Amino acid sequence: MKETKYSICGMCAVRCPVAVQVEDGEPVWIEGNSHDGGMGKSLCAKGGAAFAQRRDRQRPTAPLLRRGERGAGEWREVSWDEAFDYITSRLNAIVAEHGSRSIMLSDRGGPFADLRKAFLKALGSPNYINHDCTCGRNVNHSSKSVYGLGRTDLAYDYENTRHIVLFGRNITESLKVKEVKGFLKGIKKGARVTYIDPRASVTAGKASRYWQVKPGTDYALLLGIAHCVVHNGYYDHEFVDRYVNGLAEFKNFLVPYTPEWAAGETGIAAAEIEAFCRELNEDRPKVIIHPGWMLARYRDSFHASRIIHILNALMGSIEQPGGLFYPKGPKDAGKSGLKSLADLVPAVGGERADGCGTRYPQWDKGAGMLQTAFEAIDSGEPYPVKAYFVHRHNPFIALPDTRAQQRIFDKLDLIVAVDVNFSETAWYADVILPESTFLERDSILRTEKGLKPGFGRRQQCVKPLHNTKAGWEIYLELAKRLGKGEYFPFNTIEDIWQYQLQNTGLTVADFDAKGFVKLSDKAIWHDRDKLKFATESGKIELVNPKWETMGVPSLPPYVAPDGPPAGSFRLLFGRTGYQAHGQHQNNPILNDLLDTNRLWINTAAAGRLGIKDGDMVRVANGDIQGRIAAYVTDLIHPEAVFMLHGFGTDVPAKKRSFGKGLADQVFMQGKLKEWDKAGGGLNLAESFVTVTRA
């Protein structure tokens, strides 16, 4: 018998809606869930490789307990019962000695994190942290300082826009299926695209204007653009008069930052900057200037991003078709939201180990900050952290300087990794709990914000092939064994779903037809005359007094980045459409498409070093070095070299990818301790390497 099951892809953190055809208990076809118009039947290459992930045996297929030294890769397969017993007894001992706050959990954030937050809260720890210190933290915090809203509280209407401006937002490769489709539709309808990146990615190939900016100078470029916009009055005067605070101060601050000045810093000609600004003036308010996602990787990224948030406001593009809009939630549709699992558990007070809200008053407590939590593990201050759950997170490659991390992890008494793969971090853990692949598991329901808000369901499409469990089963069982079962009165996923739906008037069966439920038939737009922002003034704050009192200046002067030392290059990195970080390099299908990375190096720079396209080169930073093939090209700025992230694994169990290509993060020595002081994002792009012929 053939049936179609609607679910949510898990091959990357975008989590697209999918339709899976199942025949006699086996998955036979997967495509986008076409009930979702933006998605259609499209899927990316990674989603298409989901069945191969399920079948792959080079991944943990049963709970594993470490036998040898940490990282030695000697494991003993155990029953779930034994794994749970081991974790419970270790945790009980740790809590008895160090208190419940000594437990920490980090994960990949997102719509299913509620359960893990509830779990940790039930254990009495405030130390839940997500992955965002190396992802969108600077962009998020800068958005808070301008609008009082988080990064994801504004979304983009690409399809109906006139101009899309992308600062290193490689939208066609670092992709979300629905977003890239909207982007391509926008281009088809005539939108201009300005793409700014020291490296010409695939997205540069879709752009009407490409600027090969000098790496690390976005803040200068943005100040030049803002100068031109403000001093020529190229902005939406009505919107600005109504909603924006601090324009006069901003204008004054911008005086020295002329386009001519910016040209000197960035390498982009003043006439080009001026022509671009005139276009913005023609195209507004249907303009989208993406505040960057991974733009957040330089020491001044918070401020670069902050200017982008400000420019969007100056364009008047907020809550505007063809511009930015508020993704609406259930409340905006006059409906109740899903009940939170974390609300079942009493609040946990006290200082967080990572210092968010205390040592770092400006940083969001909800997401935490992993590198300062690592400092706490290292120093035992403000209190000891001894047990670490790593759920769907791979800090050894997501954060820089793996060696420095290992030294810190050695101070932990217990490391539990919940993963579908042998991640580099799981390989160093004490226990690996294998989660079932997304095709094989249910998850808690999620809220889907948007112009038409709704709820979505990931459901089990097929049974697990191996001795694996769903996350919800793992955490409920652990909570019970740790004496916290009272908070989770559920036995099945249906029990959880019913609890989540309690106030919504919906039933679980309502998800069967399409996999999601919409709470509004038509797009919801707020009245543009009555917009509210979550800052203290209720306005968009070009100068934010609250952030200033927390030690973050709104408009700091520009400081040029350090150039590479003689003979060195700035190490840049990024993604390909075939891979999600370091997750799928060993996936049989995706490995077949691309099994290694190469080092992009500028033609002239390579010529000086006697390096030809395809030559093996040696890349080094201090005592860290490795060999990789060179890709000699004009498509990268002469000051930088570039490699795809996620390759070069040192986990031998991943036989297809082991040792292939180079890992960028190992070259970022010392960078675990260097971050944007305002926003907290780690300075991933502030490392230099030497390159020589091998």
Ligand X SMILES: Nc1nc2c(c(=O)[nH]1)N[C@H]1C(S)=C(S)[C@@H](COP(=O)(O)OP(=O)(O)OC[C@H]3O[C@@H](n4cnc5c(=O)[nH]c(N)nc54)[C@H](O)[C@@H]3O)O[C@H]1N2
Binding site for ligand X (CB under 6 A): 10, 12-13, 108, 131, 134-135, 167-170, 173-175, 196-199, 201, 213, 215-216, 218, 293-294, 391-394, 398, 418-421, 423, 435, 438, 572-575, 577, 579-583, 642, 645, 664-665, 684-685
| C-alpha dist (Å) from residue 603 to 213, 517, 599 | 17, 53, 12
CA-CA-CA-CA dihedral for 58, 59, 60, 62, to nearest 10: -60
Other Cβ atoms within 10 Å of 210 Cβ, number: 18
* CA dist list (Å): 445 to 27, 95, 193, 442, 516: 22, 31, 36, 9, 9
- Residue closer to ligand SF4, measured from CB, 43 or 519: 43
Burial class (CB in 10 A: 0-12, 13-18, 19+), 55: exposed
Contact call for residue 16 and ligand SF4 (CB under 6 A): yes
Residue number with the shortest CB distance to ligand SF4?
47
Q: Residue 581 binds what, of Mo ion, ligand X, ligand SF4, none (CB under 5 to 8 Å, by partner type)?
A: ligand X
SS3 call for 425: coil
Kindly determine how many residues on this chain lie close enough to bind ligand SF4 according to the rule CB under 6 A: 13
Residues 325/525, Cβ–Cβ less than 8 Å: yes
CB under 6 A: which stretch of 68-76, 175-183, 273-281, 486-494 binds ligand SF4?
A: 175-183
How big is the site for Mo ion, counted in residues (CB under 5 A)? 1
| Beta carbons of 167 and 137 less than 8 angstroms apart | no
**Residue 439 in contact with ligand SF4, rule: CB under 6 A:** no
Quick one: 131 or 458, whose CB is closer to Mo ion?
131
Regarding 14 and contact with ligand SF4 (CB under 6 A), the answer is yes
Distance CA 575, CA 625 (A): 22
SS3 182: helix
Range 132-161, binding Mo ion (CB under 5 A): 135
Phi, psi of 455 (to 5 degrees): -125, 155
Task: In angstroms, give the least distance from the CB of 423 to ligand SF4.
Answer: 17
Q: How far apart are CA 442 and CA 189, in angstroms?
A: 39
Q: 688 with 638: CB under 8 angstroms?
A: no
The entry of ligand X, Mo ion, ligand SF4, none near residue 9 (CB within 5 to 8 angstroms by kind) is ligand SF4
Q: According to the binding rule CB under 5 A, does residue 666 interact with Mo ion?
A: no
The binder of 43, among Mo ion, ligand X, ligand SF4, none, by C-beta within 5 to 8 A per type, is ligand SF4
Looking only at the bridges linking them, the beta strands covering 26-32 and 17-23 are antiparallel
Rule CB under 6 A: say whether 685 interacts with ligand SF4: no
Other beta carbons less than 10 A from residue 28's beta carbon: 12
Q: Which of 5, 6, 15, 137 binds ligand SF4 (CB under 6 A)?
A: 15
Query: Does the protein bind ligand SF4 through residue 12 (CB under 6 A)?
Result: yes
Rounded distance, CA 262 to CA 553, Å? 21
Q: How near is the Cβ of 266 to ligand X at its closest, in Å?
A: 9
Nearest distance from C-beta of residue 178 to ligand SF4, angstroms: 8
| CB burial string 478-514: b at 16+ within 10 A, e below | bbebbebeebbebeebeebbbbbbeebebebeebeeb
Min separation Cβ 109 and ligand X, Å: 8
Give the one entry of ligand SF4, Mo ion, ligand X, none that residue 16 binds, where binding means its C-beta sits below a cut-off of 5 to 8 angstroms depending on kind: ligand SF4
Q: Measured between alpha carbons, how far is 333 from 324 in angstroms, rounded to an integer? A: 19
Contact of residue 177 among ligand SF4, ligand X, Mo ion, none (CB under 5-8 Å per partner type): ligand SF4
Per CB under 6 A, residues contacting ligand SF4 are 9, 11-12, 14-16, 43-44, 46-47, 175-177
